[in-house]
């Protein structure tokens, strides 16, 4: 809350800096803006940046470093007075001190030493905040003074502001990239830890998945097996069913919209199809679990087939419906991009519309259509909610779409849900699965992008 006040104050000051800079620049040429090197607004931005940026940087640094610094100070102060049995568990102590400082009750008794530490903690926080506020105020003042001195009619404020903007953009891009790298690295390190507990080949090629590990050594029968093959076959099966639904329907509706429908119908039908993409997957999930699954089971009962109420068919079918708009929308764009002259050429030879589509338009659009399908596949592989709700949990090695199967994503969810220690093979397995999943979808997306690029070059 205090930090929020600080941030708002900084924004307000920066705004004031803007108007100050603008009017200062104008008054320096006695109101004749033509005599300035840049537009008056740029002088405003120039001063605003001088006011705001340095103290904003300080603010960021402080927010990042402060908790760590305070923790170190508190621990140092306490280590002198703490009894020996607490030695080495500073994390626990810090937790206690922090909750005490925040006014919560702590388990057990609040010893005087703890209470004292909590007070100390609060005092440090107060000092830190006051220090930060003072430092920021002086930075703003210094920036204001320095910027004002710099503003002369000849100052190239426009170019300077442009330079700062460029670095702001670079910073944003860097944050996005670094975050991605961070996620990959954390996946990678946890995966390496997992492979220290379970052999790599057992994971990749093992045929049995039962991720129960014992908590105590005297427990029996739960040593845990981490063979991922049943999960991958499950994922493949569901993905295959989903694509078997999505590709024909999506492609044909794309052909209809691009080649057959009048513009009026297309303008209505395309957004309607895209609405499908806006339905939350959890809604698809309970549609699959509560409507499609039981329906398939009833049909199975009537026809004498054994259909489990959570089946790969139900999950895959509904997932296919979810993917239709991706395929149809992308393919529609690609098919519409095939030059009209090719269609005319074929029609003028006396080909019918469907012959034209089949032998000229589709072959020309094929690379793009394939990449649309690949993007659909990577969505199907990564989809979680529908399979969690409708595909089942048992890791069976089967190719029968009427049985329940489990997928990689479902297992990641079940491995990480609930109270878990974060260093058992069971939880670490989730990271290994996640990494494999990431690798597969990454490769699929890269291939799809490459194909699309090639396709673009063909007609440009």
Partner 1 sequence: MGKQETNVVDVRTPRVSIAIPQGEKGDNGQAGAAKEKPLKMRTQGVNVFYGDNQALSEIDLDIRENEVTALIGPSGCGKSTYLRCLNRMNDTIEGCQVEGTVTLDGENIYDRTVDVVHLRARIGMVFQKPNPFPKSIYDNVAYGPRIHGLVSSQDALNEIVMTSLTKAGLLDEVRNRLHEPGTGLSGGQQQRLCIARAIAVNPEVILMDEPCSALDPIATARIEELIDELRKNYTIIIVTHNMQQAARVSQRTAFFHLGVLVEFGDTERVFTSPRDERTQGYITGRFG
Residue ranges that bind partner 1, judged by CB under 8 A: 262-263, 339, 341-352, 355, 359-360, 363-364, 458
Tokens matching residue 297: 């089971």
| In contact, 346 and 371? CB cutoff 8 Å | no
Cβ proximity to partner 1: between 262 and 303 the closer is 262
Cα(104)–Cα(84) distance, rounded to whole angstroms?
A: 25
Q: How far is the CB of 370 from partner 1 (least distance, A)?
A: 15
Q: How far is the CB of 200 from partner 1 (least distance, A)?
A: 46
Cβ proximity to partner 1: between 285 and 367 the closer is 367
Q: How far is the CB of 32 from partner 1 (least distance, A)?
A: 51
Cα(334)–Cα(12) distance, rounded to whole angstroms?
A: 49
Q: How far is the CB of 347 from partner 1 (least distance, A)?
A: 6
Cβ proximity to partner 1: between 349 and 449 the closer is 349
Q: How far is the CB of 364 from partner 1 (least distance, A)?
A: 5
Cβ proximity to partner 1: between 132 and 361 the closer is 361
Cβ proximity to partner 1: between 57 and 339 the closer is 339
What are the C-alpha distances in Å from 346 to residues 251, 343, 369, 403? Answer: 21, 5, 21, 47
Q: How far is the CB of 350 from partner 1 (least distance, A)?
A: 4
Chain Cα centroid distance, residue 418: 22
Residue whose C-alpha is closest to residue 373's, from 234, 224, 214, 239: 239
Q: How far is the CB of 343 from partner 1 (least distance, A)?
A: 8
| In contact, 255 and 357? CB cutoff 8 Å | yes
Phi, psi of 225 (to 5 degrees): -125, 130
Contacts of 18 (CB under 8 A, 6+ apart): 44, 45, 47, 48
Cβ proximity to partner 1: between 97 and 258 the closer is 258
Cα(206)–Cα(26) distance, rounded to whole angstroms?
A: 75
Cα(363)–Cα(95) distance, rounded to whole angstroms?
A: 65
Cβ proximity to partner 1: between 108 and 263 the closer is 263
Counting DSSP H helices and E strands in the chain, the numbers are 17, 2
């Amino acid at each position: 809350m205090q930090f929020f006040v600080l941030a708002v104050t900084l924004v307000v000051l920066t705004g004031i800096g803007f108007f100050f800079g603008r009017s200062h620049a104008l008054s320096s040429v006695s109101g004749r803006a033509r005599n300035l090197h840049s537009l008056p607004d740029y002088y405003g931005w120039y001063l605003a940046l001088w006011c705001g940026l340095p103290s904003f940087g300080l603010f960021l640094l402080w927010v990042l470093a402060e908790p760590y610094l305070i923790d170190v100070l508190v621990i140092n102060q306490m280590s002198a007075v703490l009894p020996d049995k607490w030695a080495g568990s500073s994390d626990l102590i810090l937790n206690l001190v922090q909750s005490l400082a925040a006014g919560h009750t702590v388990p057990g008794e609040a010893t005087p030493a703890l209470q004292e530490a909590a007070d100390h903690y609060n005092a440090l926080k107060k000092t830190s905040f006051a220090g930060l506020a003072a430092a920021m105020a002086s930075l703003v003042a210094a920036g204001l003074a320095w910027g004002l001195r710099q503003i002369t009619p000849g100052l190239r404020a426009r170019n300077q502001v442009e330079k700062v903007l460029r670095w702001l953009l670079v910073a944003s891009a860097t944050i996005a990239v670094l975050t991605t790298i961070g996620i990959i690295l954390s996946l990678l390190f946890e995966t390496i830890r997992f492979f220290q507990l379970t052999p790599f080949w057992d994971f990749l090629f093992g045929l049995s998945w039962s991720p129960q590990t014992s908590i105590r050594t005297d427990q029996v029968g739960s040593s845990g097996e981490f063979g991922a093959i049943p999960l991958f076959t499950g994922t493949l099966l569901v993905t295959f069913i989903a694509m078997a639904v999505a590709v024909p329907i999506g492609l044909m509706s794309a052909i209809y919209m691009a080649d057959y429908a009048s513009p009026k119908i297309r303008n209505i039908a395309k957004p309607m199809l895209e609405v499908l993409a806006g339905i939350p997957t959890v809604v698809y999930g309970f549609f699959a679990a509560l409507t499609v699954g039981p329906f398939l089971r009833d049909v199975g009962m009537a026809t004498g087939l054994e259909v489990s109420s959570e089946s790969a068919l139900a999950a895959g079918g509904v997932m296919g419906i979810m993917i239709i708009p991706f395929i149809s929308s992308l393919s529609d764009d690609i098919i519409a991009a095939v030059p009209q002259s090719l269609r005319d050429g074929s029609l003028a030879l006396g080909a019918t519309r469907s012959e034209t589509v089949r032998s000229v338009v589709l072959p020309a659009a094929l690379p793009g259509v394939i990449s649309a399908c690949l993007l659909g596949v990577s969505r199907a592989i990564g989809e979680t909610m529908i399979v969690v709700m409708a595909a089942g949990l048992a890791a069976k090695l089967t190719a029968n779409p009427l049985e329940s199967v489990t997928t990689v994503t479902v297992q990641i969810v079940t491995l990480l849900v609930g109270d878990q220690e974060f260093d058992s093979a069971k939880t670490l397995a989730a990271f290994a699965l996640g990494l494999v999943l990431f690798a597969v979808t990454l490769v699929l997306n890269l291939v799809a992008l490459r194909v699309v690029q090639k396709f673009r070059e063909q007609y440009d």
